[in-house]
Structure 1
């Protein structure tokens, strides 16, 4: 699992049948200090995240298992909304 911040939404009116009803979000990967750590990418949303939320996500085969229909062609799926991040007992940031 990795961290990212939701920075936008993606609208796709035509998708493969297994993604019908699945929201797509644009997310920016974060490092352990919650700083940007890469280029934004599209992820499926399985937990009703929104713009500004810090989320954790899965990639690869595991990303497909988090969706209602398994084994659809996706690269990343958001699996949770982060409330707080601490490193070595120190609070780094909050998703709230």
Structure 2
């Protein structure tokens, strides 16, 4: 499929939804907007996310170029997650979501 036949490639909204797939992915990006975090810090900040779900979402975001995973050679190894420039550019999207959510409470 190319951009003419794949809606995720031809539509900006579909592409954004492809990257921010699901509740946890968006919240992970939100947490990382404040700066680099370790796995346990992310998990604590997010609340009831399972380790498997967090791992899966982090891998997907890394694969999409939204974040980087840096392993520091220490005992035990320290792994830090940080948004890339592309990931940081999602701040405007999340800020718009924040404004909309505040203007339209449930």
Give the TM interval when normalised to the shorter protein: under 0.3
Structure that is richer in helix per residue? 2
Structure that is richer in strand per residue? 1
TM-score by structure 2 length? Answer: 0.23
Larger Rg: 2
| Bigger relative CO (Cα 8 Å, ≥ 6 apart) | 1
